[in-house]
Structure 1
């Protein structure tokens, strides 16, 4: 099976030894995204709603580069620093999956890269 690296300047560049996404066959594996604005290099995190929307925009840019969109997503993993933010994150996240949302888990963790409050990864199929 061929492994294709997906890379776009519309989402933040990786901050470690990984790629934004890998297309393996018909499946796209998207690395966890944080609320870093790809153009300004600034963290968009004045509040958890804004932060979540920026994460979703970064995911959307990577999906788009692979010729996909949120309707192709079959699984998301959400990592949060504070489970108390769950309802607010869920509300923002839900705006991107208006029908047939993917499978998902949400896990509280003690710390995330660059001390963000939320990180989301996804798996999508063509």
Structure 2
């Protein structure tokens, strides 16, 4: 935990999601908002899944997102905004189906951004903002 002049910043960390691969936190809570860092489809135990089909990669990235939300005492119902980076817009329909299964009736704001490539050759990365307090 670190403090600043505008209020406390709380770092969120869980072993139930992939550990950060660089100098960043899995998530940061500040002034009622939870900011979740981009989640690649790396399993919580650190095993890479770059060789797995797109649908499997989506499920792993979403599992990481859910685990981080849970570590902050939140759920997918608390999501405010989700940004999804997809290597190949042709994957959008498959992503949307899987995402809808995870979120059910909840529909946060969302952007799906086609990109030419992602780190390690992954096909998807997901970042989000959620309510940090109820």
In our comparison, the structure showing a higher alpha carbon Rg is: 2
Q: TM class by shorter-chain length?
A: over 0.9
Tell me which residue corresponds to 1:5: 11
SS at match of 2:82: strand
Q: How many residues align?
A: 126
Structure 1 gaps of 5+ residues are none
> Any conservation in 2 of the 1:55–1:119 contact (CA below 8 Å)?
yes
Structure 2 gaps of 5+ residues are 1-6
Question: For structure 1, which segment, 42-51 or 19-28, has the greater mean C-alpha deviation from structure 2 after superposition?
Answer: 42-51
Q: State the TM-score, normalizing by the size of structure 1.
A: 0.95
Q: Among 26, 38, 42, which residue is 2:44 paired with?
A: 38
Residue 84 of structure 2 is aligned to residue 59 of structure 1: no
Q: Using a 3 Å threshold, how does the CA distance of structure 1 residues 39 and 124 change in structure 2: closer, same or farther?
A: same
Q: Using a 3 Å threshold, how does the CA distance of structure 1 residues 65 and 33 change in structure 2: closer, same or farther?
A: same
Deviations 1:70-97 (A, max 9, x none): 0000100000000001000111111111
Cα RMSD between the aligned structures? 1.2
Q: State the TM-score, normalizing by the size of structure 2.
A: 0.89
